[in-house]
A and B are shown apart, each in its own frame.
Chain A
Amino acid sequence: DTEVTQTPKHLVMGMTNKKSLKCEQHMGHRAMYWYKQKAKKPPELMFVYSYEKLSINESVPSRFSPECPNSSLLNLHLHALQPEDSALYLCASSQRGAEPQHFGDGTRLSIL
């Protein structure tokens, strides 16, 4: 079990659907991250939140919309996704940027 909890574990959605991925940590970490990982590829950074403020957006398409309601929660809102967006979406957190990042188990997303 990891200390970063992601829900749901699996998600199948159509290209017109709206859904949200959720991430929660109770380690008091102040930095939280969203990564996208395709099969047999390394994780690719999407967004970074630092002290609940968006600090980095790695040129991610607007169909992905992050939200940080409080210091323990991180959401990723999905709308009008494309089949190529099918991937494992990983959430991570760290005490500060220079500390090890702890990953959740991820949400495996399939777009039909």
Chain B
Amino acid sequence: GQNIDQPTEMTATEGAIVQINCTYQTSGFNGLFWYQQHAGEAPTFLSYNVLDGLEEKGRFSSFLSRSKGYSYLLLKELQMKDSASYLCAVLNSGYSTLTFGKGTMLLVSP
């Protein structure tokens, strides 16, 4: 089975940097995804880590440590439109299905 933990809510100020952590315990692991979901909309793919280290994509970066069962999503130069839920999802081995964490609701204030 899978156990994925991430904070329920976070707040930050426009222009700041925020780090959203995700820890996981899995019986099989093929990689970790981060998705962004605005209220009432579909999840949007942000990043995918399968090897240890940092993946950078513009204002967003994601880090993975497989030995520690740990990932984080780093958002720089926060904008109001970054207010959304951020979902950590583990890609399971075998059937390659995704198991989502409960999501972190990020509120960016002026």
Binding site for B on A (CB under 8 A): 2, 4, 31, 40-45, 48, 55-56, 90, 96-98, 100-106, 108
Contacts and interface: CB of A to CB of B under 8 A. Distances in A.
Interface stretch (B61-69, B75-83, B95-103): B95-103
A42 B44 contact: no
Contacts of B42: 2, 4, 90, 103-106
Contacts of B100: 42-44
7 contacts: A2-B42, A42-B89, A42-B100, A42-B102, A43-B43, A97-B97, A103-B44
Given A42-B103, A98-B91, A105 B97 contact: no
Interface in B23-56: 30-31, 33, 40-45, 48
Contacts of B89: 42
A100 B48 contact: yes
A27 to B, nearest CB: 13
Which of B43, B48, B102 has the most CB atoms of chain A within a 10 A radius of its CB?
Answer: B43
Interface residues of B, number: 22
Nearest to B6: A42
A107 to B, nearest CB: 11
Nearest to A56: B95
Contact of A45 (B31, B33, B98): B98
A97 B96 contact: yes
Contacts of B43: 43, 90, 103
Nearest to A105: B42
Contact of B95 (A4, A43, A97, A103): A97
Contacts of A44: 100
A33 to B, nearest CB: 8
A98 B30 contact: yes
Contacts of A102: 45
